């Protein structure tokens, strides 16, 4: 796991576009229904890997594959899923038209378009029912979604100052930091606590507080997958997702 990230070692590649056709989670959950524990961690000691995001802008693809790893490690303990860089780049090409022989085609990915593709096609045999848009101004909703769906995808504008922050440290904004924007990025958020969140990207993790989301956040989605449902028919959090799954099939 790298201890220090510089821009030359990683790539961005997230095109922030809110898919207005996607169902908002607020359609299904009233504020009073958003019960979640004060602390939640779905992170597992998996060799997530860069999955190509050190050489091309496939951060959205890396997030999706990392999410599959988490679902299976939590809901189906003993059945870890690992992916290769070649597999990630295969998906990147299928969704965006990226051609490894033509660097000009490395243009990044719109998360909504990637999730639409995933809803219609499997990713290496892994399918989803769909996804819901989240309100990034609603921290309670973000926490609820992480707890309920096993993590969320979070896209944001990358401030220059985080590029020099070691893995395991905080991205929270400090006075005097260089907030010029380097590019767009997507990460998976799989943990939250009383003071903030922990993300997984670039083969490392960092924490940040809600103010970071308010300052740099662009969009977030929760993916609904039957892989998150155990043999008992419910998710590890005990929620029956059948109603939402049924609606997503009609969406």
| CATH number belonging to domain 7-250 | 3.90.70.10
Burial (Cβ within 10 Å: 0-12, 13-18, ≥19) of residue 250: exposed
Tally of CA atoms within 13 A in the half-sphere of 134 that contains its CB: 30
Closest CA to 153 of 123, 109, 194, 195: 109
- Rounded to an integer, the average pLDDT of 203-210 is 95
- So what's the pLDDT on residue 3? 37
Q: What percent of the chain has pLDDT over 70?
A: 77
| Residue 208 burial (CB count, 10 A) | 25
197-201 and 130-133 beta bridge pairing = unpaired
Residues 155-168 pLDDT 10s: 999 999 999 899 99
Q: What is the pLDDT of residues 218-228, one digit of tens each?
A: 999 999 888 88
Query: In this predicted model, what pLDDT tens digit does every residue of 24-44 receive, in sequence order?
Result: 555 555 545 567 899 999 999
Under a CB-based contact definition with an 8 Å cutoff, are residues 232 and 239 in contact? no
Average pLDDT, the chain: 85
Predicted confidence at residue 4, as pLDDT, reads 38
pLDDT in tens, 73-115: 998 876 678 999 999 999 999 999 999 999 999 999 999 999 9
CA separation for the pair 46, 25 (Å, rounded): 29
Query: Mean pLDDT, to the nearest integer, of 120-146?
Result: 92
Q: Using DSSP, state whether 71 is helix, strand or coil.
A: helix
The whole-angstrom separation of Cα 82 and Cα 107 is 25
6 has a pLDDT exceeding 50: no
């Amino acid at each position: 796991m790298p201890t220090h990230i510089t821009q030359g070692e990683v790539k961005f590649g997230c095109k922030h576009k809110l898919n207005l056709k996607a169902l908002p989670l607020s359609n299904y959950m009233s504020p009073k229904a958003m019960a979640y524990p004060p602390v939640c961690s779905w992170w597992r000691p998996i060799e997530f890997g860069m999955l190509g995001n050190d050489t091309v802008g496939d951060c959205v693809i890396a997030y999706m594959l990392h999410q599959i790893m988490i679902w299976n490690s939590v809901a189906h303990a003993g059945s870890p899923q690992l992916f290769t860089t070649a597999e990630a780049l295969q998906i990147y090409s299928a969704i965006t038209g990226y051609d490894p022989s033509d660097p000009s085609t490395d243009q990044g990915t719109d998360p909504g378009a990637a999730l639409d593709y995933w809803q219609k096609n499997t990713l290496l045999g892994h399918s989803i029912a769909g996804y819901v848009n989240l309100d990034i101004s609603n921290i309670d909703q973000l926490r609820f979604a992480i707890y309920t769906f096993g993590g969320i995808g979070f896209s944001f504008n990358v401030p220059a100052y985080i590029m020099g922050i070691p893995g395991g440290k905080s991205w929270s904004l400090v006075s005097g930091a260089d907030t010029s924007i380097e590019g767009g990025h997507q990460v998976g958020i799989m943990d939250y606590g009383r003071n903030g969140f922990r993300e997984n990207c670039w083969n490392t993790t960092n924490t940040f507080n809600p103010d970071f989301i308010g300052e740099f956040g662009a969009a977030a989605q929760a993916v609904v997958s039957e892989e998150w449902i155990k043999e008992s028919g419910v998710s590890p959090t005990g929620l029956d997702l059948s109603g939402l799954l049924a609606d997503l099939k009609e969406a």
